[in-house]
Amino acid sequence: MQRLQGDQERKKEKLGRSLTDALKLVLLIGLVVIAFGPSYSYSLIRLLYGRKWSDGEATKVLQCYCLYVIVLAMNGTSEAFLQAVATKEKLKRSNGSLLVFSLIYVIANVLLIRSAGAIGLILANSLNMILRIVYSAVFIKEYFKESSSFAFRACMPGGYEFVLLSGVATFIVERMYLNRDSFSATFTIHFSFGLFCFLVSAFVIYQKERPFITKIIRFREHAD
């Protein structure tokens, strides 16, 4: 009995470390997208498709989609864990909750598309993902309540503050210096500042998360 209990505890510890790494990875990627995506959405569309599209709704849609990326990734990871370890009874309860969330999504979809168009569609999807993330988070907290192998705070990548600060800084620089009428000249300043912020953030994250990044690289090499 003690051996079986010990095996279960080791299994739960391994699951906790794996879930922490998975959530940390998607949060790291998502935070980078959130920090730099909205500030460079206009510039990207302007460079690829011209001013006709960048001055329209496309820029705002892409900015909102950058925010949607992180909730989509977090939901996929947390929900996959729930589906993998939950009992049949809890899976039935989860499916019932998903049905309720789907109904909320349909209602929000209709209302928000009417009032905000494509942006409303992204907001409705984001609301659906957030509800599902909260449900999965409650399950995960309950699953690890008697184990110290997992904590949500441990999922935040080191140096995330610098990434968010870079997002605020690039947003301010875009508003202050990027001129749509003199795009070619002012974009150089905007791009250079963003590149500098990205490199500083990458350096800080690497210094704080070197073991984690090394683990991901080795896992990738082993998978290949």
Q: What is the pLDDT of residue 223?
A: 58
pLDDT > 70: percent of the chain:
95
Q: What is the pLDDT of residue 199?
A: 96
- Any idea where the domains of the chain sit in the sequence? 2-223
Our CA angle for 203, 38, 62, nearest 5°, is 130
Mean pLDDT of all residues in 1-11? 63
Mean pLDDT of all residues in 42-60? 93
Mean pLDDT of all residues in 155-181? 93
Q: What are phi and psi of 18, to 5 degrees?
A: -65, -40
Q: Which of 51, 32, 34 is nearest to 42 (CA)?
A: 51
Q: How confident is the model at residue 222 (pLDDT cuts 50, 70, 90)?
A: low
Average pLDDT, the chain: 91
Angstrom CA distances, 145 to 75, 133, 198, 207, 209, stand at 20, 18, 37, 31, 26
Asked whether the predicted pLDDT for residue 5 surpasses 60, the reply is: no
* Cα torsion 28, 34, 40, 44: sign: positive
b/e per residue, 193-204, with b = 16+ CB within 10 A? Answer: bbeebbeebeeb
Asked if 42 contacts 178 with a C-beta cutoff of 8 angstroms, the reply is yes
Asked if 140 contacts 18 with a C-beta cutoff of 8 angstroms, the reply is no
Q: How confident is the model at residue 170 (pLDDT cuts 50, 70, 90)?
A: very high
- Residue 137 exposed, middle or buried by CB count within 10 Å (0-12, 13-18, 19+): middle
Q: What is the largest CA-CA distance in the chain?
A: 74
DSSP-assigned states of every residue in 134-195: HHHHHHHHHHTTT-SS--GGGGSPTTHHHHHHHHHHHHHHHHHH--STTHHHHHHHHHHHHH
Q: What is the pTM of this model?
A: 0.88
Q: What is the pLDDT of residue 7?
A: 64
Half-sphere exposure of 117 (CA within 13 A, CB side): 7
The predicted-structure confidence for 93-129, as pLDDT tens digits, reads as follows: 999 999 999 999 999 999 999 988 999 999 999 999 9
Residue 156, SS3 per DSSP: coil
